[in-house]
Each structure stands twice: as structure tokens, then as C-alpha cells.
Amino acid sequence: MNLCIHKSNQFVNKNFLKLSYLYRFSMFNFHKIRIKTNKFNKFRKSKFTELNKTTLEKSDEYRYLASLNFKQNKLEDAVKNYNMALELNPKNLKALIELGLINLKQNKIIESLEYFKKALEIDPNCNIAHNKLVEIYISQKNYEEALIHSHKELEFAPTQYKGGCLNNIANILENLGKRDEAINYYKKAIEHDPTNVNIYDNLAILYQGEGMIAEAEGMLKKAIEISPLKSNSRKLRLAVMISKIETRHEDSIALFKSVIETETESDPLSKAHFSLGTFNLIIKNNIEAENSYTKAIKYNEKYLLSYLFLFEVLLRLNNTTKVETYYKKLLENLPNFNYIGIAQKCYGLRLMLATEHFLKLELEINPTSDEARKLIEELNQN
């Protein structure tokens, strides 16, 4: 009985020759020959499996090496090794995902999209691919596609991540103008993840935009309750929000003062004083407004708005000397601003006393200024 022996290098070994010899010279009956044939087929299959396994292992080795390159920010080497991994195994899911992440990091959006889509062809349940596609589509303001992948991400997400997925869906619906649906999804997100303060923040913003001040206040207070050690930014938002309600002025002032008393970092302190100053400016408590704005500048000398609003308050108080003093201080910290630049900024904020004051100073030194003439025309029209 003759047998054509496969000449492949992978299979020409002693075991193969031994089986071939049995086939050629066997004097056994047909039943025994069939047993030998089955043994040979199993042997051949095992060798193919072994060969394939070796290829997959090599692919994973390149992928692992590429991951190390990626962590070391050696992106060129990482891409080279990921491509080697995919050449050996085009279905190497981790290589596709990590190549997508590298391209995303390099702002190669089209390439990263393709890698994440290929990953989903291999594993439609791949959460990280859905998550990154959501991120990309939101950045492109393609909210319809983002919504599709957000729902997929939610479908396959482990229980502990469903709150975050629902929060993302609510955000996307909000951007699509579907605010009622967004509110419902934010509520579902809170049910799944009741300690996630970001969800309360997002829902508070949406409620405030819809004029639902009481509901927005409730969300902010809940977030403050959950995370009291990081509550000052929320207290500040709440204070600004309720300051517009005439009957809540005292509550608003109490919140501003609470932030000022407990905050230790300069930038938040500056913002707190600025917000309190603006509140006092609105209710025409000019002395208190001046005190707040000067403290805001003390904690952050480069915050332009504090200077502009202080100029307006000082001009209400007819204190042009202090205006000139703080203008010099502004130039020390923000040297690119001249009189006309300040006048234009103040006009944009409808700080009319400050606008007219700096416009006048500009015309004194530059009577033919085109920018000044243009601003005068706008003032006359309004």
C-alpha cells in the first residue's frame, strides 16, 4: 500500500516516517490499517495545531513588546511591533485596540477609527472599542453615531460601569436637544451609581438651563453631601445660581463666605472673591464689591475680569486715582493690554463707565484711532 509522503519541513520527522513506513509495509488486515490511518490523521492535526499555536504566541510576543514601547512613549517602535503582531495574527484584538489608542494619542482620528472598527468586527462586545468610538464621535459632534455606540457600550458593560455609560448617553441626548430623555437617563445613571458626583453635576447644569432652579439646587446639595471635602466649587456654583433670586441673597452671601473661609488654594479663592464682588456689584453694594475684587486680584494677579469689574466699581465711586493704580498693576501682569483693548473688553461685558473712561484715555493719546472711532459708533448706535 503506497502513501504519498508530505514533504513539508514541519512534518518530516521521525514520527512521520515511522507512520509512513507502517502504511507502506503493513501486513495487517484492513481494520488495523484504518486504525493506523486515524492515528496518522490525529498526528497531522496535532502538528498543525502546534504550528498555529506557535504563530499566535509570536504575535502575542510582538504585541507585548509593543505595549512596553507604548508605555515608554516609544511610539515608532510600538507601531512597528504592533504591525508585526497583526501580520502574524490579523485577529490580535489587543494589538488592534492599542494601535487605535496610539493613533488617537497622535490625533490620527481616521486611522484610530479604522482600528477600533476592526476590533469590533472580531469582538462586537469589545467595550473599550465602543467607548473610544463614542469619544471620537463626540469630538466630531457626530452625536448620532456616538449614541449608537453608547448604547452598545451600555449593553456589554459590567454592572459597576453602567452608571457611567448611562451618564454618557444622557450627555449625548442633551447635545441632540433631547433634554427630557437626557433627564431620564441621568436619573437612571444615579440609580446605578448613586455616589458619582459628576452625574449630579451634569443634571444640575441641565436643570439650571431649563430654569428648574429648585431641582438644580437639589442636585448640587446632594453632590456636596456625597463629597464634602471637594464641595467648594459646587457651593460657588450654587451661590451664583441662587444670587439671581432676590429672596435668596442672604443664602447666596453665606455660601460665598463659606467657600472663602474654607478654601486654601489661591485660584479658587480668587474666583470666590470675584463672584462675591459681582454679586455686590449687581445689588449696587459698591464698597463691598471693591473689597471683593481687590482680594480676587490679590489671590490671582493675572485674572483679567477682576481688573475690569474693579474699574467699573471704582468709577461708580469716582475714584479715578485707584483706576490708574490698578491699570498699572494690570500692565505688570498682562502687558499686552492698552487703553483701547481695555475699553473693548469692558464694552463686551457691558461695563459702560469703564468703557467710556478708557476710550477717552485712548483718544487723548491717539485722536485718530480707527478702533476708538469704531467703538464710539457702536456706543452711539446702542
pLDDT at 24 over 50: no
Residue showing cell 466630531 = 140
Predicted local distance difference test score (pLDDT) of residue 53: 53
**Residues 32 and 26 sit within 8 Å (Cβ to Cβ):** yes
Evaluate the CA torsion angle 351, 353, 356, 359 in order and state its sign: negative
Query: Please, what is the average pLDDT of the chain?
Result: 86
**Residues 131 and 100 sit within 8 Å (Cβ to Cβ):** no
pLDDT at 259 over 70: yes
Binning pLDDT at 50, 70 and 90, where does residue 38 land? low
Q: How far apart are CA 39 and CA 29, in angstroms?
A: 16
**Residues 242 and 213 sit within 8 Å (Cβ to Cβ):** yes
Predicted local distance difference test score (pLDDT) of residue 30: 43
pLDDT at 272 over 80: yes
> 17-24 long-range CB contacts below 8 Å, 24 or more apart?
19/43
Residue showing cell 433627564 = 183
Once rounded to an integer, what is the mean pLDDT over residues 177-198? Answer: 96
pLDDT top residue among 113 and 382:
113
For residue 270, the tally of other CB atoms under 10 A from its CB is 22
Helix (H) or strand (E) holding 329: helix 320-333
Lowest-pLDDT choice from 52-61, 72-81, 128-137, 325-334: 52-61
The C-alpha cell that represents 305 in the structure block = 475680569
Binning pLDDT at 50, 70 and 90, where does residue 328 land? very high
The C-alpha cell that represents 269 in the structure block = 479663592
Binning pLDDT at 50, 70 and 90, where does residue 41 land? low
Lowest-pLDDT choice from 84-93, 141-150, 198-207: 84-93
pLDDT at 33 over 60: no
**Residues 121 and 131 sit within 8 Å (Cβ to Cβ):** no
**Residues 130 and 154 sit within 8 Å (Cβ to Cβ):** no
Once rounded to an integer, what is the mean pLDDT over residues 242-263? Answer: 90
Binning pLDDT at 50, 70 and 90, where does residue 75 land? confident
Task: State pTM to two decimals.
Answer: 0.70
| Residues 330-355: tens digit of each pLDDT | 999 999 899 999 999 999 999 999 99
Q: Which domains are present in the chain? A: 1-123 (1.25.40.10)
Residue showing cell 464689591 = 289
pLDDT at 230 over 70: yes
pLDDT cut 70: percent of the chain above it: 86
Residue type, position 181, single letter: E
**Residues 115 and 97 sit within 8 Å (Cβ to Cβ):** yes
Once rounded to an integer, what is the mean pLDDT over residues 369-377? Answer: 90
